[in-house]
Chains A and B, each alone.
Chain A
Amino acid sequence: MTQSKPNAVEMKDMVIRFPGVLANDQVNFTLQQGEIHALLGENGAGKSTLMSALAGLYKPAAGTIKVMGEAVSFNSPKDAIAKGIGMVHQHFMLVPTQTVTENILLGLAEPKFFMNLRAYDQKVLALQEQFGLRVSPTAKIWQLSVGEQQRVEILKLLYRGANILIMDEPTAVLAPQEIEELMQTMRAMTQQGKSIAFISHKLHEVEMVADRITVLRKGKVTAEGYSMKGVTKAELARLMVGRDVVFTVKKKPRQAGKVVLEMYHVQAENDKGVPALRGVSLEIHSGEILGVAGVAGNGQSELAEIITGLRKCKGSIKINGQEVSNQPPIMAIKRGVAHIPEDRGKVGSAPNLSITDNSIMKNYRQAPIGDGWTINFLSAHTHATELKAKYDILAANVNMPARKLSGGNLQKVILAREISTMPSLMVAMQPTRGLDVGAIEAIQHLLLAQREAGAAILLISEELEELLALSDRLAVIFDGRIMGILPNDDQISINQIGLMMTGSKE
């Protein structure tokens, strides 16, 4: 190291455990004074966990943290802020009905009971000038855009004298021009001696703003403190995604039939009203798995939701030749669209209802379960028991509430339910996320069996290995656009996919 700048933060051999999960395994991380250090990695790689430990939210099981050369041990975020460390979380912690200044002062010893808010407005303004964080001090939080609210969060930390800022995926909620402004602010802050740890999984942003980079994968460091100058994007993509694990799934040759799903120039917004899909066109044939690769938050959730009728969109979606866009979810179900949702607990199942009740969610309207008016609970029970046996669902009985199932078994219930409707199109979103190896294999085999049975399958996943193992063709999505669709054969290049995932064209 030629530079003589002291390290603002030194984390060494950090080990952080959650019940059943090793979130950080012997992780080293150093943050130099006045630098922007990016932490790159996939979801669940352990980036946020490591930084939360630095912000005093978690206690590490092992490892040492030094701040400005001094060994520290934090019991709460309060201890961390006392050492000048503050974290901007993904979810803001602001009081919507109060003003910017009031939010900044919240919880501080000064001012006391009588507040001279106007004087503090001036202080906040001065701080804004210094770092280029424009937001009216007297505006109420609910009146602000998400980007402005984020500035308030940053101001809160600066006001408390933070010199080391941790930003947890700060760009995830921002519009492009807001991202640009944020990056300017970040540079202004480092020029004035602040140090920033920047958590992200978007390569191009990291490339734009970071001085150095540390890459985490599955709780371990794969690249420690690389200078951004010496690293290529493709190399980073490989470090981030990894490719040492190769699944061995036996797959029969593709027997694609007629077109089942046709999308033409489909556009949709996310929950915040920001465009999430910017003209997606693709088609899937029966007996084919189309994999969708991409970094989370590039429009995958919205893609699944517009096909299943859960989200409004513009453009044309045809299933078996019939236009289906903007029809209610029931129509998609009637047309034979099965959906394995991203969030199996919040969307895919009713946690307090029995396995039986959960297993009939899609077919309670049809014989033999129901006739539209009544439900034959005897057939429902038989149906659930059959699914339990056929799909090897581990549960004491089918009257058990769904919340008591393990993740893998709950996913099997959902998959069993969806498959039992004999779908012509299956939309599977992250079907194996968070499952153990055995369950992953079982789920993957079920998907392949569906493919052989002639269903068209849209498989959206962040696991590149899984996509390579299962897909017939692979579409790469970035920023709401399909960057290209590649046939999944021996010619396919991971480097190329990695580049497409970060915004390069085919």
Chain B
Amino acid sequence: MLTFEKRVDDIPRWLPVATSIGSVVIAFILSGIILKLIGGEPLVVGQFFFEATFGSWPVFSDTLVKATPLIMVGLGCAVAFKMKLWNIGAEGQFYAGAFGASLVVLVLLPMFPTMPKVLVISLMIIMGMVGGALWAFVPAYLKAQFNINEIITTLMLNYVAVLWNNFWIFDRWSDAGFQMTPVFPKSAWLPRLADYASDYRAFSGITLHLGVIFALVASFIVWWILERSSWGYEIKLIGDNPQAARYAGINISCNIILALMVSGALAGLAGMSEVSGVVHRLQERISPGYGFSGIIIAWLAKLNPFAVIPVSILFGALILAGREIQPSGLPMMLQGFIMFMVISSDLLLRYRIKWTTTNK
């Protein structure tokens, strides 16, 4: 008989890593089985999947381009989750960040058209992060002041953010009646490797942009905050036992607001990086659900800022493959399976599974 036994002893260090990797592997296997059942060729699809995402430098660069916003959003979720604040609103904060960055280009830049690129990009970064942070401030304040469930408020604000952007791109900033703003001037574009193709032929057609560096730097900073700073210690303490944190003299309300705003700022940075590095304008559907993927990514990475990077690359590949594979529902199914597996694998961390023979 199969029995579950609660773990009393420490979880071995390798186990969370193993369950995360195992979850992904099992999700792939299950998807393959379903593909086979409906008459597909899992191995062929698998090979195609690999080639379309990791097969060559240009496609790998595309994968990294998709991974860039995912890393930032995943980090944002990790910061909030570490404090047991369930920020489900990264999607909305992403849009708010994209809006904030666009504000710089569409309002400020026309007033000072000669602004140097470095200044434009810096302002876009700041405004993108401020946008995301402010979007997160609303649920954060409600949580800190009135203990209103942040899951609901952050989730609801996602829809508001999308509609808010729609208002501007449909009405105020519409480019000749289309549902998008005009293309940003070049000074608001993040540099891409392809821009240097005239000097290095190998870079021709490589879309990888500076945002990926932002993402990597952000990973390091978030790791430093969580593992080395006093604030990281306070986040850990609040996350584990808010009562003990209060007893240790920590202001919980302040930290709720701060953590959610940092979480939102990271999602906002992702929005900035996307409009400035990829889309070059504000338009509808700039995110294929990055904000929601960020939740799974943070969880799969066990809230480790460095683990967020490879996990995001995997999810970037899934998004990219969605375009290449027909039917494109397959990567969605894979994502679903992965999430399902990750959540259920938590069982293994809390329980030990034992075979017991019953003597009759």
Instruction: Choose, from B167-175, B197-205, B234-242, B290-298, the stretch at the interface.
Output: B234-242
Q: Chain B, 223-240, contact with A by CB distance < 8 Å: what is the 0/1 string?
A: 000001111110011001
Contact B236 A357 (CB under 8 A): yes
Is A63 close to B, CB under 8 A?
no
- B249 CB contacts on chain A under 8 angstroms: 328-330, 332-334, 362
Is A350 close to B, CB under 8 A?
yes
Q: Which residue in chain B gives the minimum CB-CB distance to A404? A: B10
Is A263 close to B, CB under 8 A?
no
Contact B230 A347 (CB under 8 A): no
Q: Quick one: given A330-B249, A333-B249, A347-B244, are A375 and B228 in contact (CB under 8 Å)?
A: yes
Contact A350 B244 (CB under 8 A): yes
Q: Chain A, 469-498, contact with B by CB distance < 8 Å: what is the 0/1 string?
A: 000000000000000000000000000000
Q: Dominant SS at the A interface?
A: loop
Q: Quick one: given A329-B249, A347-B244, are A353 and B237 in contact (CB under 8 Å)?
A: yes
- Per the bound structure, the CA–CA distance linking A310 and B236 in Å amounts to 20
- Per the bound structure, the CA–CA distance linking A118 and B248 in Å amounts to 53
Q: Quick one: given A328-B251, A339-B247, A341-B247, are A350 and B230 in contact (CB under 8 Å)?
A: no
Q: Which chain B residues in 4-58 approach chain A with CB under 8 Å?
A: 10
Which of A308, A330, A352, A372 makes the CB contact (< 8 A) with B240?
A352
Is B246 close to A, CB under 8 A?
yes
Which of A347, A353, A373, A377 makes the CB contact (< 8 A) with B247?
A347
Contact B247 A351 (CB under 8 A): no
- A346 CB contacts on chain B under 8 angstroms: 241, 243-244
- A357 CB contacts on chain B under 8 angstroms: 233, 236-237
Q: Which chain A residues in 296-352 approach chain B with CB under 8 Å?
A: 308, 310, 328-330, 332-334, 339, 341, 346-352
- Per the bound structure, the CA–CA distance linking A78 and B241 in Å amounts to 37
Q: Which residue in chain B gives the minimum CB-CB distance to A376? A: B228
Contact A329 B246 (CB under 8 A): yes
Q: Which chain A residues in 267-293 approach chain B with CB under 8 Å?
A: none
Contact B240 A353 (CB under 8 A): yes
Contact A310 B10 (CB under 8 A): no
Q: Quick one: given A328-B251, A353-B236, A362-B249, are A348 and B244 in contact (CB under 8 Å)?
A: yes
Which of B230, B241, B243 makes the CB contact (< 8 A) with A373?
B230
Is A370 close to B, CB under 8 A?
yes
- B237 CB contacts on chain A under 8 angstroms: 350, 353, 357, 361
Contact B241 A351 (CB under 8 A): yes
Top-7 shortest CB links A-B? A330-B249, A361-B248, A350-B240, A350-B241, A333-B249, A329-B249, A350-B244
* 6 interchain pairs, CB-CB under 8 A: A349-B241, A350-B240, A350-B241, A353-B240, A364-B233, A377-B228
Binding site for B on A (CB under 8 A): 308, 310, 328-330, 332-334, 339, 341, 346-353, 357, 360-362, 364-365, 370, 372-375, 377, 400-401, 404
